[in-house]
Amino acid sequence: MRWLLSFLLLGLLSIVQALSSSGNKLLVILEDAAEKGKYSKYFADLEGRGFELTYESPKNEKLGLFELGERAFDHLLILPPKSKGLGPQLTPKLLLEFINAGGNILLTLSASHPTPSTLISLLLELDIHLPTDRNSLVVDHYNHDTLTSSEKHDVILVPRPDSIRPDVKNFFKGTEQGGEVIAFPRAIGQILGNDSPLLTPILRAPRTAYSYNTKDDVEGVEDPFGVGPQLSLITTMQARNSARFTVVGSSEVFENSWFDGKVKRSIGLGGSGAQTKETKTSNQEFAKEVTGWTFNEIGVLKVGKIEHYLNEGGVQSNITNPKIYRVKNDVTYNIELSEYFWDKWVPFTPPPRDSLQLEFSMLSPFHRLVLAPLTRTASSTIYTTSFKLPDQHGIFNFKVNYKRPFLSNIEEKNTVTVRHFAHDEWPRSWVISGAWPWIAGIGVTITGWVAFVALWLWSKPVPLRLTTSGKKIQ
């Protein structure tokens, strides 16, 4: 009986291990059911994290991404097919509709199988450029694995990536101990268009790598498709509805043989690394991070409650979220943010050089202020700022618009009315020093009037006397 109980406990524990924040139905597209064995460790990792895997071939007619207008699956993993296309159930239009409906897609390519032209045009629509010829391969004569590709140099060894920008969170840096390598065999490099802010590369090719056509450029390459960090090996696109689309240049990164393979670096730039030993690849951990990001297990943000209230003269008002304020009121705004980390919501902190900003705007922002953390609960951080409303009346919005690479989008808008000063809220005239002569004048007039009335009622007329020159004097 005891073994049954511990078995049950183990089963329950594995469910609690990790869970995507947006559902766990994962559809895996692989053409050849025999290939399941090659990726068995990867699929076991996914199932251990709570995903429900369904395996389908692209040729299956009954395959449907949508059921009665709703998404039938939450996530999609596409392994490269050998045939020319992905079938009628996975057209680019349907894949884009899947993303627009909030589904995440992890697409893997391979230099060993020609990429279907429908996929090339789908990625072009997202501004990800693939080589138009079907025979391209990324090689690196300075950063390859000498154990498996000492001649062909097509297994590239890449270190863990740095942050894309100093103010962007890096979810893919591993244990940060240094010396970690990721094996990238037979990859297709991508070039990203410069205009789109939605594209972010996770892993870029090393400085000396380049992509060439294996059929045409056998002797030497004079017009490579892309060189060095301009080639992106893993590209991500996060749509404006926070749905995620990741393109991995090589499906072999997820294979069992590379999950615990041993590699030996070649001699790098300037003769470095001539005496390196064999090291283990970090493909399994890296695959977990890339898949975790794509399937909403990390990097997902959530807004808790939003409160704004009047804070005039240091006295906090009891009424939260009033609909109307007055010009030049002192107002405090609080917002609660959480971040999803594998299986639970944790307090969110923006990266060190980044900051969360509040905009108080009518048609354009009148204020854009930094939100500072106020308190921290078990699962969220509350950010706050206090400021004076502008001296313009109208309909204003409290806007928090936080969109960053690798974090889901936050757009919160609260509308309030800002009214003018009421007639009795202006400063009184005795406070205005320029009015004092006029107030004095009023007092003088009143005094003169009352004195006149008294004199008129109760004075006795005084007779006039005349001087010798005829003038009237008293």
Partner 1 sequence: MRFLRSIVPSLLLASSGIVEAASSWNVDEAIISVSGKGAAGTGFKDKLSDHVPLSNPVALGESDTLKIILTATEDGRAKRPHQAFLLLRDQDSGLETTIPFSMKESGKGKVDFTQKDLPVQLLTSSQPLRATLLLASFGSAQGFSNHVFNLDVQKDANTPAPKYEKPLRYGKLEEIHHIFKADPTSPPKIISIFFALAVLATIPVLLGSWAFLGANLSHLAKATSAAPVSHSLFFGSIVSMEGIFFLYYYNWSLFQMLPVAGVIGLVAFLSGSKALSEVQERRLAGDR
> How far apart (Å, rounded) are the C-alpha atoms in residues 247 and 123?
9
Considering the rule CB under 8 A, would residue 240 count as an interface residue with partner 1?
A: no
> How far apart (Å, rounded) are the C-alpha atoms in residues 370 and 354?
10
Question: How is residue 61 written in tokens?
Answer: 């007619």
Considering the rule CB under 8 A, would residue 153 count as an interface residue with partner 1?
A: yes
Asked if 356 and 371 count as a contact pair (C-beta separation under 8 A), the reply is yes
Output the smallest distance, CB 66 to partner 1, in A.
Answer: 30
Select 69 or 197, whichever has its Cβ closest to partner 1. Answer: 197
Name the phi and psi angles at 363, rounded to 5. -95, -30
Select 208 or 284, whichever has its Cβ closest to partner 1. Answer: 208
Among 313, 352, 437, 470, binds partner 1 (CB under 8 A): 437
Question: Interacting stretch for partner 1, rule CB under 8 A, among 78-86, 225-233, 314-322, 337-345?
Answer: 225-233
| Residues 195 to 224 in contact with partner 1, rule: CB under 8 A | 195, 197, 207-208, 210, 212, 217, 219-224
Considering the rule CB under 8 A, would residue 274 count as an interface residue with partner 1?
A: yes
Considering the rule CB under 8 A, would residue 269 count as an interface residue with partner 1?
A: yes
Asked if 239 and 198 count as a contact pair (C-beta separation under 8 A), the reply is yes
Output the smallest distance, CB 121 to partner 1, in A.
Answer: 23
H or E element, residue 20: none
Considering the rule CB under 8 A, would residue 370 count as an interface residue with partner 1?
A: yes
SS3 label, residue 339: strand
Among 9, 10, 33, 444, binds partner 1 (CB under 8 A): 444
- Cite the DSSP H helix spans in 145-240: none
Among 11, 352, 434, 470, binds partner 1 (CB under 8 A): 434
Considering the rule CB under 8 A, would residue 167 count as an interface residue with partner 1?
A: yes
Considering the rule CB under 8 A, would residue 152 count as an interface residue with partner 1?
A: yes
Considering the rule CB under 8 A, would residue 328 count as an interface residue with partner 1?
A: yes
Select 8 or 435, whichever has its Cβ closest to partner 1. Answer: 435
Output the smallest distance, CB 446 to partner 1, in A.
Answer: 5
| Residues 383 to 402 in contact with partner 1, rule: CB under 8 A | 388, 390-391
SS3 label, residue 388: strand
Considering the rule CB under 8 A, would residue 355 count as an interface residue with partner 1?
A: yes
- Which residues, listed in sequence order, are joined to residue 128 by a DSSP beta bridge? 192
Radius of gyration of the chain (CA): 36
SS3 label, residue 178: coil
> How far apart (Å, rounded) are the C-alpha atoms in residues 31 and 257?
20
> How far apart (Å, rounded) are the C-alpha atoms in residues 373 and 385?
9
H or E element, residue 78: strand 75-78
> How far apart (Å, rounded) are the C-alpha atoms in residues 133 and 151?
23
Select 53 or 221, whichever has its Cβ closest to partner 1. Answer: 221
> How far apart (Å, rounded) are the C-alpha atoms in residues 410 and 306?
13
- Residues that bind partner 1 (rule: CB under 8 A) add up to a total of 76
Among 10, 16, 395, 432, binds partner 1 (CB under 8 A): 432
E-assigned strand segments in 103-180 = 104-108, 128-129, 136-139, 155-159
Considering the rule CB under 8 A, would residue 436 count as an interface residue with partner 1?
A: yes
Question: Interacting stretch for partner 1, rule CB under 8 A, among 11-19, 82-90, 149-157, 298-306?
Answer: 149-157
> How far apart (Å, rounded) are the C-alpha atoms in residues 387 and 465?
76
Considering the rule CB under 8 A, would residue 461 count as an interface residue with partner 1?
A: yes
| Residues 14 to 33 in contact with partner 1, rule: CB under 8 A | none
Output the smallest distance, CB 292 to partner 1, in A.
Answer: 21
